[in-house]
Amino acid sequence: MALDTSILFPILKKQGYHIVGSHSAVKRCKWYKESMLGRGACYKSKFYGINSHQCMQSTPCLQYCTQGCVFCWRVQGRDREEKYSKIGREIGFAASRHNELPKKNMAWDSPEHILDGIVKEQLGFAEGYNGHPGATKEKVMEARNPRLLTLSLAGEPTLYSYLPELIRLAGNKGFLTFLVTNGTSPSMLKKLIAKKSLPTQLYISMDAPDKESYLKTCNPCSPSLWAKYLESLKVMKKLKGNTRAVLRMTLVRRHNDGNLEGYADQIKEAEPDYVEVKSFVFVGGSRSENRGLKLEDMLKMDEIRGIGKKLAKLTGYTLTDEHEPSRVVLLVRDQTAETKRILKY
């Protein structure tokens, strides 16, 4: 059954998504709230110097994705528990439904419409803290001046046909841009290069050491996407010196936490500036009974550190930082990347 956004979007709104146009959204994450109230910041803040309360966590492709990752906290078509309501189960709605892809030549919203809408909603978040006893005037003023557009909230952003134009527009308006992709659209990465519209930092999710684990963990809409992903690693290697590159791991016990040599080979192929080694978190959609995951499938911080150290030994990278609340460690390629790790804006 085709995706029905008249069912999906109202439910996403209840979950804190602010819908922009017909296929985009922005949302306050936990760390935005914590940062505003002076109770901490996300790992991107610790690793790269980004203020969590100045980050716009957004997507230009809310309801479309090429994968249905078992660890994804977004709602998927297979998540049909009672809490999503009877009509929701019947429709099989999904925020990132891996068998729902954009139609060819569909009418996409313009980059201007998307960016203007995201910024408007983000400024509304800041105003919500004006006068809040836990938020200082300085924090509210900073939040009124968002600095980072993070394209990662839900769905697969490289499916948006005008992604190069959106990134260029954001850059022209003075925003840093982080693009997070699952790597299944190397053609769009090549398009970003050709149009000289690279993000400030490009992430590719490295979520499986081999094809067997990939099919089990990421549930792609086609097995051929593994080859597309490997092609994206080669594209990343060509970006050296042109933009910052990161491979981001999300590890799930019993699914993709083995064969570290396979991960090491991918790191050597892509030669990213940084590698984030992170445990999945048992929240949101990942708790659906249909996924088959349990709380104990989260890796402990000591395990994440151990995997980080092993990968460092296998690749020549250096374990340089960690954020224990997020169960993540950071590997850096060399001293040059370490020196430039903290972004200035």
Residue 85 has pLDDT above 50, yes or no: no
- Ramachandran region, residue 307 (left: φ > 0; alpha: ψ -120 to 50; beta: rest): alpha
Angle of the 211-218 helix axis to the 225-238 helix axis, nearest 10:
110
Q: By three-state DSSP, how is residue 6 classified?
A: helix
pLDDT classification of 3: cutoffs 50, 70, 90: low
Taking only the tens place, the pLDDT of each residue in 238-276 is 998 899 999 999 999 999 999 999 999 999 999 999 999
Q: Assess whether pLDDT exceeds 80 at residue 41.
A: yes
Per residue in 93-106, pLDDT (tens digit) is: 333 344 466 777 77
Going by pLDDT thresholds of 50, 70 and 90, the confidence category of residue 311 is very high
Write the CB contacts of 195 (distance below 8 Å, at least 6 apart in sequence): 164, 165, 168
Our measurement of the distance from residue 31's CA atom to the centroid of its chain's CA atoms, rounded to an integer in Å, reads 14
The token pair at 278 is 């992170």
CB 203 within 8 A of CB 248: yes
Maximum Cα–Cα distance for the chain, whole Å? Answer: 55
* Confidence at residue 4, expressed as pLDDT on a 0 to 100 scale: 63
CATH class of 17-61+103-339: alpha beta
Structure tokens at 103: 């139609």
Average pLDDT, the chain: 89
Tokens of 154: 């839900």
Of residues 62 and 266, the one with the higher pLDDT is 266
pLDDT of the residue at 262: 98
The pLDDT assigned to 95 comes to 36
Strands (E), the chain: 18-20, 24-26, 55-59, 148-151, 176-181, 201-205, 244-251, 274-279, 318-323, 328-332
Query: Residue 277 — φ and ψ, nearest 5°?
Result: -105, 110
Retrieve residue 179's tokens: 């693009």
pLDDT higher at 93 or 57: 57
- At 212, list the tokens: 């067997």
Task: Give the tens place of pLDDT for each residue, 270-300.
Answer: 999 999 999 998 887 777 777 888 989 999 9
- Are the C-beta atoms of 315 and 261 separated by less than 8 Å? no
Q: How many CB atoms lie within 10 A of CB 292?
A: 10
What's the confidence (pLDDT) of residue 82?
40
CB contact at 8 A, 110 and 24: no
Least Cα distance to 341 among 240, 178, 201, 233 occurs for: 201
CB 331 within 8 A of CB 310: no
**Residue 217 to residue 292: CA distance in whole angstroms:** 11
End-to-end CA distance of the chain: give it in Å, rounded.
46
Distance of alpha carbon 64 from alpha carbon 108, whole angstroms? 13
**Residues 142-167: pLDDT tens digits?**
999 999 999 999 889 999 999 999 99
Domain ranges of the chain: 17-61+103-339
